[in-house]
Amino acid sequence: MKKLLIAAIALLLTHSVFAGVKIEHWVSPSGARVYFVESRVLPMLDVQVDFAAGSMFDPVGKSGLAALTRAALDLGAGKLDETAIAEQLADIGANLTGGADTDRASVALRTLSARDKREPALDILKTVLHKPLFDAAIFEREKARTIAGLKEAMTRPDSIAGKAFWAAMYPNHPYGRQATPESVGTLNRDDLVAFHARYYNAANASITLVGDLSRQEAETLAEAIASGLPKGQAAVLPAPPEAPKGGLTQLAHPASQAHVYIGLPAVERGNPDFFPLLVGNYTLGGGGFVSRLMKEVRDQRGYAYSVYSYFAPLKQTGPFQIGLQTKRSQARDAIKVARDVLEGFLKDGPSDDELAAAKANLTGSFPLRLDSNKKILDNVAVIGFYGLPLDYLDQYQARVQAVTADEIKQAFARRVRPESLITVTVAAD
């Protein structure tokens, strides 16, 4: 029940008096973790419920189960069929969205905050969360659509490259297993019911509310969501991924452009290496048009329209990834340039000027990360789901500012070992 006061980060940046957002956190009587940001500026409310029910929890051989379970939630629940759910939401101008990634399954509601809109919208949200029907005929229809979509994805060079990249990075971890037409073909309705029963519970949920609501209303509302869920148990994580043996996978495709991914499993959410990696990667390939990769691959040589690198921390060791697309005949040259840039950075780290530029952008752009309810929701939901410190946003600029070039070099040396780098190409000559 601790209320956080806004931290005085203005000390660091005299021109910036924007001190982030005030996150209120509590655990509802039914056991769900709740995160609330009161924002009265617009007459609207966002509610997001996240469950540790992403694809990493797909049983072996049943890849695609988490995604299909999430997709089926709002296709019939309680006394409402799928048409009634969609029509009633539209009647009050509310939107129900969400999906499943590797870690999370999310259900997000955006509604006007006026009581005559908010109450019916929340009733639908609760029904969808508490009493999904998993109708057999609808399940078969969605299964067929999912399989068709997967087959289509397997014709696209970027999807082919992405799937092969994750499979190579995580040979013995669920992050490397992905839905296929075959794995989805084996699923049945009972699998969905069982997956839902196991993972969609209060202990496994975090609820984020942002918008035109009082603390008391937020408490009531969050508990109404949580109390209809089984108490349940939090998800149990698999053994963490091991570093893969580096290597090259080349796949054929008739496309005019080669798709190239280079990377490896690097860092999990909340790891202290994250800030040095974030600041360092700005110079390497994260800083949009001003990164070294952009300069060397795009500006100097015209090899690619898009070239980047990023760290994507996940519940367990998430990837570091470099990506680019280039005319198939010059893929080899482009890969060499990207590898040289990476090696140069691993060896020397950023220059003083580069480090200063990275800090200036990452701290200076902080207000832009939080200038809408949607952005606040996204940030706070991540803090809640991954259990990051509640003052994460308040400390963000100071943490960035404190990073040294040495810390960057050391963090990269620990996390980006050249011998473990995976390279995947599709359509390269």
Site for another protein in 69-88 (CB under 8 A): 82-87
Bridge partners of residue 3, in order along the sequence: 24
Of 127, 147, 144, 13, give the one whose Cα is nearest residue 73: 127
Distances in Å between the alpha carbon of 13 and those of 9, 136, 360, 396? 7, 58, 10, 12
Question: Hey, is 109 helix, strand or coil?
Answer: strand
For position 15 contacting another protein by CB under 8 A, the verdict is yes
Contact between 359 and 400 under an 8 Å Cβ cutoff? The reply is: yes
Which residues inside 399-428 make contact with another protein, applying CB under 8 A? none
For position 89 contacting another protein by CB under 8 A, the verdict is yes
For position 398 contacting another protein by CB under 8 A, the verdict is no
b vs e for 281-319, b when ≥16 Cβ sit within 10 Å of the residue's Cβ?
Answer: bbbbbbbeeebbbbebbbeeeebbeebbbbbebbbbbbb
- Binding to another protein by CB under 8 A, coded x per residue (else -) over 122-161, reads ----------------x--x--xx--xx-xx-xx-x----
Contact between 187 and 68 under an 8 Å Cβ cutoff? The reply is: yes
Bridge partners of residue 160, in order along the sequence: none
Which residues inside 224-283 make contact with another protein, applying CB under 8 A? 253-257
Distance of CA 263 to the CA centre of its chain: 18
Sign of the four-CA dihedral 411, 379, 268, 283: negative
CB of 6 to another protein, least distance (A): 13
CB nearer to another protein: pick between 172 and 186:
186
CB of 154 to another protein, least distance (A): 7
Say how many C-beta atoms besides its own lie within 10 A of residue 357's C-beta. 16
- Binding to another protein by CB under 8 A, coded x per residue (else -) over 283-302, reads ----xxxx----x--xxxxx
Give the DSSP per-residue string, 331-384: HHHHHHHHHHHHHHHHHH---HHHHHHHHHHHHHTGGGGGSSHHHHHHHHHHHH
- As a whole number of angstroms, the distance between CA 419 and CA 103 comes to 27
Total of chain residues touching another protein, rule CB under 8 A: 73
CB nearer to another protein: pick between 180 and 361:
361
- Binding to another protein by CB under 8 A, coded x per residue (else -) over 336-375, reads ---------------------x--xxxxxxxxx-xxxxx-
CB nearer to another protein: pick between 69 and 316:
69
CB of 312 to another protein, least distance (A): 19
Kindly report the length of the chain: 429
Contact between 7 and 19 under an 8 Å Cβ cutoff? The reply is: yes
CB of 193 to another protein, least distance (A): 21
For position 22 contacting another protein by CB under 8 A, the verdict is no
When binding is defined by CB under 8 A, the residue of 306, 329, 351, 404 that contacts another protein is 306
Give the DSSP per-residue string, 28-69: -TTS-EEEEEE--SSSEEEEEEEES-SGGGPPTT-TTHHHHH
Contact between 128 and 106 under an 8 Å Cβ cutoff? The reply is: no
Contact between 373 and 211 under an 8 Å Cβ cutoff? The reply is: yes
Distances in Å between the alpha carbon of 333 and those of 163, 345, 416? 23, 18, 22
CB of 93 to another protein, least distance (A): 2
For position 3 contacting another protein by CB under 8 A, the verdict is no
Which residues inside 165-224 make contact with another protein, applying CB under 8 A? none
Which residues inside 29-68 make contact with another protein, applying CB under 8 A? 40-44
CB nearer to another protein: pick between 268 and 333:
333
CB nearer to another protein: pick between 92 and 203:
92
CB of 362 to another protein, least distance (A): 8
CB of 138 to another protein, least distance (A): 8
CB of 294 to another protein, least distance (A): 9
**Stretch of residues binding another protein (CB under 8 A), selected from 50-58, 222-230, 261-269, 320-328:** 320-328
CB of 127 to another protein, least distance (A): 15
- As a whole number of angstroms, the distance between CA 365 and CA 160 comes to 34
For position 27 contacting another protein by CB under 8 A, the verdict is no
For position 112 contacting another protein by CB under 8 A, the verdict is yes
CB nearer to another protein: pick between 197 and 356:
356
CB of 181 to another protein, least distance (A): 10
